[in-house]
């Protein structure tokens, strides 16, 4: 990068490793070019709010790479064709000839629109995307940074809530846990990562890619309760948005309380719905080491791509092996990614009471081999009281 002027921004919802990608890029880029940060992502581009990020600032702020949230600010900012032209003109006025945006499928679409807008106004602009999403619905990469940490959080939470409910089953019967994933069930399915035996939670998992049937759902819950005396259910937030009249109105978000109310009303079982919410994507304590390392690596790779004169591409992860775990970085055209969603593969959509072994093998190295079906220091103690009776 012979003194390119480059703008970088973060867009969409943050993840536990969002800043790792940012600082991977910054530390690889600042030595060879002038770097500017777009405050609050697309909003900063639209309003011309670019701040210089010289090596001294990046060096002093290095610890932010380990923090959740978005160091430059992110969020969502709607733009139409005129808005993208405005962003391009703002960049042209500042002499910016390279743009990197870190985000999900909507951000990749925005990257493509930015490159086209720059061409419309006659400004030569290299545009790259860096993948990020906890939903893991981004096309062109084996998985996206942010997902592994969120899945780690969900898997551990489901395991621990399951032990809690097992202890309380003389008082409560069912807990329905809601994960993110409006149209894709990656995170919900990840909730079953630590299940080793049928009696281990979660007992049931429901994803948007699989049709939802109210009667079958109630029957599944009833059967699990009869078998184990309690039931832990995991659902995606978008589960009921496309179902055929499961309730009075389609629901997107808040699905767990709706289903808990349905269970209580129809089956007479004490049920509680819990929305895991923003903790899934923001919990730095649950950040996966693999996730953090790969997030930084893709940020560094984006700097290398700019240095090589690339545009309209993103670095994606291609898996070479799950055991031992190996990935490589490949260049992916934004046109094949922009605005598209990747659902959970058909072959991994097991029935609600099952978890595909191939999916678990794929997910295990991402969430971390240190996680187990039992919390730390209590493995083997779960059945202790049974032996005393």
Choose among 189, 229, 214: nearest CA to 348.
189
Q: Are 236 and 188 in contact, with CB atoms under 8 Å apart?
A: yes
As annotated, the active-site residues are 135
Residue 148 near residue 288 (C-beta atoms within 8 A): yes
CB 89 within 8 A of CB 125: no
Q: Are 49 and 39 in contact (CB under 8 A)?
A: yes
Report how far residue 225's alpha carbon sits from residue 227's, in angstroms, rounded to the nearest whole number: 5
Tokens of 195: 């299940």
Q: Where are the alpha helices (DSSP H) in 168-278?
A: 186-190, 214-228, 255-267
Instruction: Provide the 3-class DSSP secondary structure of residue 333.
Output: strand
Q: How far is CA 293 from CA 252, 287, 299, in A?
A: 33, 10, 10
Sheet holding 325-333, edge to edge: 50-52, 33-38, 4-10, 98-103, 126-131, 313-322, 325-333
- Residue 245, helix vs strand vs coil: coil
Separation CA 237–CA 179 (nearest Å): 6
Q: What would the two tokens of residue 286 be?
A: 């649950």
Q: Which helix (H) or strand (E) is 44 found in, with range?
A: helix 42-47
Q: How far apart are CA 196 and CA 337, in angstroms?
A: 35
Counting beta carbons within 10 angstroms of the beta carbon of residue 80, is it exposed (0 to 12), middle (13 to 18) or buried (19 or more)? exposed
- Yes or no: say if 264 and 271 are a contact pair by the CB < 8 Å rule: yes
User: Number of H helices and number of E strands within the chain?
Assistant: 13, 11
Distance of CA 186 to the CA centre of its chain: 9
The answer to whether 67 and 10 have CB atoms below 8 angstroms apart is no
């Amino acid at each position: 990068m012979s003194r390119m002027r480059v703008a970088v921004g973060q867009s969409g919802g943050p993840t536990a490793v969002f800043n790792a990608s940012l600082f991977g890029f910054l530390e690889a880029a600042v030595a060879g070019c002038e770097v500017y940060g777009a405050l609050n992502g697309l909003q900063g581009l639209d309003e011309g709010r670019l701040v210089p990020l010289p090596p001294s600032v990046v060096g002093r702020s290095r610890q932010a790479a380990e923090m959740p949230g978005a160091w430059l600010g992110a969020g969502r900012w709607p733009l139409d064709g005129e808005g993208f032209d405005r962003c391009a003109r703002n960049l042209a006025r500042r002499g910016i000839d390279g743009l990197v945006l870190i985000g999900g499928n909507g951000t990749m679409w925005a990257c493509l629109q930015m490159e086209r807008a720059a061409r419309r106004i006659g400004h030569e602009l290299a545009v790259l995307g860096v993948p990020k999403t906890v939903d893991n619905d981004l096309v062109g990469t084996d998985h996206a940074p942010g997902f592994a940490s969120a899945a780690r959080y969900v898997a551990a939470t489901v395991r621990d809530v399951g032990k809690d409910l097992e202890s309380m089953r003389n008082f409560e019967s069912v807990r329905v846990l809601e994960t993110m994933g409006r149209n894709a069930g990656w995170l919900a399915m990840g909730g079953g990562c630590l299940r080793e035996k049928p009696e281990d939670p979660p007992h049931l998992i429901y994803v948007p890619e699989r049709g939802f049937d109210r009667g079958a759902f109630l029957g599944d819950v009833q059967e699990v309760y009869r078998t184990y005396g309690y039931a832990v259910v995991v659902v995606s937030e978008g589960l009921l948005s496309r179902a055929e009249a499961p309730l009075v109105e389609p629901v997107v978000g808040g699905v767990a309380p709706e289903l808990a109310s349905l269970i209580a009303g129809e089956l007479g079982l004490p049920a509680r719905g819990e929305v895991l919410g923003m903790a899934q994507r923001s919990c730095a304590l649950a950040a996966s080491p693999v996730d953090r390392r790969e997030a930084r690596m893709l940020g560094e790779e984006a700097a290398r791509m700019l240095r090589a004169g690339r545009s309209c591409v993103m670095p994606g992860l291609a898996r070479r092996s799950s055991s031992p775990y190996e990935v490589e970085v490949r260049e992916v055209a934004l046109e094949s990614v922009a605005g598209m969603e990747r659902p959970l593969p058909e072959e991994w959509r097991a029935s609600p009471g099952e978890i595909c072994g191939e999916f678990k093998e794929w997910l295990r190295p991402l969430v971390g081999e240190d996680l187990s079906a039992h919390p730390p220091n209590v493995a083997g103690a779960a059945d202790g009281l049974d032996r005393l009776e």
